[in-house]
């Protein structure tokens, strides 16, 4: 097929949309390490998780073997309202960069929640409803997950209680209001509404909060209120499973034009968009059918992959959740107030952690100002105002395209553009006013948090 025939946007018909989620664990030779009970250090049994999570989601969480999960019709129907998301050929960016590289991006920002998080929110709300629950609790950092979950809960008629990291609650009043439009209650975290919140406030007065604190509060509320369960927007295996819809659509679209990517790039906070985007490609790589370079991009201020350790750690600051083996900075790591709120988590998906440890993917970290420079370059030529999180992937996609320019290689680059930046204009304002700093934690600081990792074996 000649170059000109590839359209700016590759569409999928409704009939071409993925009918199942792909579980990459089925093809992993080394499975991700199991969640451990923090008391006994034994693998968590489904019944121990049942007070915290919805039953079917627990089954998905622990299932390392089933390759394909048919997407329930109710979820497919909701997906049809805002999916497929566009796969765009960045012709204009290529022209600007004068690169021989071919650049594609998968844009997940075209729904009201503004990010890919809705793909898993609707699935999790569906299973909660199916189980006959009253509602769900969760935490949100930058606000995208809380917004997505509020939308999903209102669609299925579930109550939704969101604990929002305090710094975001104050910096992003508009996100908070969107959640309230969809009927959610939103509490800044740490708060005095929970025991763990009161404890954290007493230990760190004036703290602006962290995802880890907010998770502890949301879990406490779920386990102490009958008919409620806790849901999480990233990190967990089930979330990567739901997000595989991103990768499935991307692969179906590329296959239509016989396009094989050389490099796949995504930003990584807890790893869900990247895990979802790469899943079917990683599956081919694991089965020895194809090879791809896969790059995770994280902020230099919160470098879980590039400077963390692969160890069992708590998923939350309050140490109420199971232990997960992951690349981590330590569960009490509170990053500098980086403006990519969705990338501020101390740990990383256990699936991606294992793949990274096995050398099947790479990771790089990038400083904040360079990310915003790339974001603006992209916005001015491709039109879309990107989320700061997504812009980490833009930055590295541009770097790779420039490398192709030096070597003359015509590589095909695909990156995940996870969301819109409409609610991040305070961050863009700081960038324009030269008030953005590129704080990077020192080795001494990181060692201090690492020293507090739980001792497992």
Residue 138 found at the interface with ligand PLP (CB under 6 A) = no
Closest separation between CB of residue 153 and ligand PLP, Å?
17
Closest separation between CB of residue 261 and ligand PLP, Å?
19
Tell me whether residue 148 or residue 259 sits nearer to ligand PLP (CB atom): 148
Read off the DSSP letter of residue 85: P
Tell me whether residue 99 or residue 237 sits nearer to ligand PLP (CB atom): 237
How far does the chain reach from its first CA to its final CA, in angstroms? 56
**What's the CA gap between 146 and 275, in Å, rounded?**
20
Q: Which stretch binds ligand PLP (CB under 6 A): 6-14, 39-47, 262-270, 317-325?
A: 262-270
Could you give the C-alpha distances from 365 to 11, 16, 110, 160, 302, in angstroms and in order? 32, 36, 27, 34, 9
**What's the CA gap between 178 and 332, in Å, rounded?**
30
Closest separation between CB of residue 240 and ligand PLP, Å?
9
Closest separation between CB of residue 170 and ligand PLP, Å?
18
Closest separation between CB of residue 267 and ligand PLP, Å?
5
Closest separation between CB of residue 38 and ligand PLP, Å?
23
**What's the CA gap between 331 and 454, in Å, rounded?**
9
Q: Which stretch binds ligand PLP (CB under 6 A): 38-46, 193-201, 244-252, 387-395?
A: 387-395
Number of residues counted as binding ligand PLP (CB under 6 A): 19
Could you give the C-alpha distances from 241 to 271, 323, 396, 454, in angstroms and in order? 11, 20, 25, 28
Residue 270 found at the interface with ligand PLP (CB under 6 A) = yes
Q: What are phi and psi of 362, to 5 degrees?
A: -110, 170
**What's the CA gap between 210 and 333, in Å, rounded?**
9
Residue 144 found at the interface with ligand PLP (CB under 6 A) = yes
Tell me whether residue 267 or residue 398 sits nearer to ligand PLP (CB atom): 267
Residue 146 found at the interface with ligand PLP (CB under 6 A) = no
Residue 303 found at the interface with ligand PLP (CB under 6 A) = no
The answer to whether 153 touches 160, Cβ cutoff 8 Å, is yes
Closest separation between CB of residue 203 and ligand PLP, Å?
27
Q: Which stretch binds ligand PLP (CB under 6 A): 98-106, 246-254, 282-290, 382-390?
A: 382-390
Q: Which of residues 104-123 bind ligand PLP (CB under 6 A)?
A: 115, 117
The answer to whether 344 touches 211, Cβ cutoff 8 Å, is yes
Among 57, 267, 326, 396, binds ligand PLP (CB under 6 A): 267
Q: Using CB positions, name the residue nearest to ligand PLP.
A: 419
Closest separation between CB of residue 78 and ligand PLP, Å?
18
Contact pattern from residue 78 through residue 97 relative to ligand PLP, giving x for each residue in contact according to CB under 6 A and a dash for the rest = --------------------
Residue 338 found at the interface with ligand PLP (CB under 6 A) = no
**What's the CA gap between 91 and 86, in Å, rounded?**
14
- Tokens of residue 138, six digits: 């969760």
The answer to whether 166 touches 217, Cβ cutoff 8 Å, is no
Among 216, 419, 423, 431, binds ligand PLP (CB under 6 A): 419
DSSP 29-78: SSPPPPPB-TTT-SBPPHHHHTTTS-HHHHHHHH-SS--EEEPPHHHHHH
Mapping DSSP to helix (H, G, I), strand (E, B) and coil, where does residue 387 land?
coil
110 CB burial (10 A radius; 0-12, 13-18, 19+): middle
365 CB burial (10 A radius; 0-12, 13-18, 19+): buried
Contact pattern from residue 183 through residue 222 relative to ligand PLP, giving x for each residue in contact according to CB under 6 A and a dash for the rest = ----------------------------------------
Residue 32 found at the interface with ligand PLP (CB under 6 A) = no
Residue 343 found at the interface with ligand PLP (CB under 6 A) = yes
Q: Which stretch binds ligand PLP (CB under 6 A): 87-95, 173-181, 384-392, 440-448?
A: 384-392
Q: Which stretch binds ligand PLP (CB under 6 A): 263-271, 315-323, 329-337, 371-379?
A: 263-271
**What's the CA gap between 114 and 101, in Å, rounded?**
28
5 CB burial (10 A radius; 0-12, 13-18, 19+): exposed
Which has the closest alpha carbon to 302: 326, 256, 270, 259? 270
Residue 342 found at the interface with ligand PLP (CB under 6 A) = yes
The answer to whether 53 touches 229, Cβ cutoff 8 Å, is yes
Tell me whether residue 168 or residue 234 sits nearer to ligand PLP (CB atom): 234
Residue 299 found at the interface with ligand PLP (CB under 6 A) = no
Among 138, 273, 328, 338, binds ligand PLP (CB under 6 A): 273
Residue 268 found at the interface with ligand PLP (CB under 6 A) = yes
Residues that bind ligand PLP (CB under 6 A): 115, 117, 142, 144, 234, 267-273, 342-343, 387, 389-390, 418-419
């Amino acid at each position: 097929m000649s170059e000109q025939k590839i359209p700016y946007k590759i569409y999928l018909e409704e009939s071409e949309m993925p009918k199942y989620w792909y579980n990459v664990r089925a093809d992993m030779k080394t499975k991700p390490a199991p969640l451990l009970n923090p008391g006994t250090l034994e693998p968590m049994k489904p019944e121990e998780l049942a007070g915290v999570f919805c039953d079917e989601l627990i089954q998905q969480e622990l299932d390392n073997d089933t390759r394909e999960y048919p997407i329930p019709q109710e979820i497919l129907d909701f997906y049809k309202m805002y999916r497929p998301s566009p796969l765009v050929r960045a012709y204009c960016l290529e022209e600007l960069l004068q690169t021989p590289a071919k650049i594609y991006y998968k844009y997940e920002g075209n729904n009201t929640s503004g990010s890919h998080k809705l793909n898993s929110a609707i699935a999790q709300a569906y299973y909660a409803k199916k189980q006959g629950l009253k509602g769900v609790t969760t935490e949100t950092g930058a606000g995208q997950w809380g917004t997505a979950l509020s939308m999903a809960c209102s669609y299925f008629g579930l109550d939704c209680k969101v604990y929002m990291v305090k710094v975001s609650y104050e910096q992003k009043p508009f996100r908070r209001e969107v959640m309230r439009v969809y009927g959610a209650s939103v509490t800044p975290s740490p708060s005095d509404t929970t025991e763990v919140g009161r404890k954290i406030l007493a230990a760190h007065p004036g703290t602006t909060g962290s995802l880890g604190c907010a998770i502890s509060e949301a879990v406490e509320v779920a386990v102490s209120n009958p008919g409620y369960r806790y849901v999480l927007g990233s990190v967990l295996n089930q979330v990567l499973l739901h997000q595989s819809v991103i990768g499935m659509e991307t692969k179906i679209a590329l296959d239509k034009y016989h396009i094989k990517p050389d490099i796949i790039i995504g930003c990584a906070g807890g790893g869900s968009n990247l895990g979802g985007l790469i899943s079917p490609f990683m599956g081919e790589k694991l089965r020895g059918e194809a090879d791809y370079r896969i790059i995770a991009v994280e902020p230099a201020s919160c470098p879980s992959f590039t400077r963390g350790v692969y160890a069992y750690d708590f998923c939350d600051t309050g140490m109420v959740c199971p232990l997960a083996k992951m690349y981590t900075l330590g569960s009490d790591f509170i990053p500098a107030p980086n403006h990519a709120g969705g990338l501020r988590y101390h740990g990383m998906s256990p699936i991606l952690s294992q793949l990274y440890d096995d050398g099947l993917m790479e990771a790089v970290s990038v400083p904040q100002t360079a990310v915003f420079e790339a974001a603006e370059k992209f916005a001015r030529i491709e039109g879309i105002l990107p989320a700061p999180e997504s812009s980490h992937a833009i930055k590295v996609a541009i770097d790779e395209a420039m490398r192709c320019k030096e070597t003359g290689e015509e590589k095909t680059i695909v990156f995940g553009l996870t969301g819109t930046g409409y609610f991040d204009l305070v961050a863009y304002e700081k960038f324009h006013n030269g008030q953005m700093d590129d704080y990077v934690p020192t080795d001494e600081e990181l060692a201090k948090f690492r020293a507090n990792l739980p001792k497992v074996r």
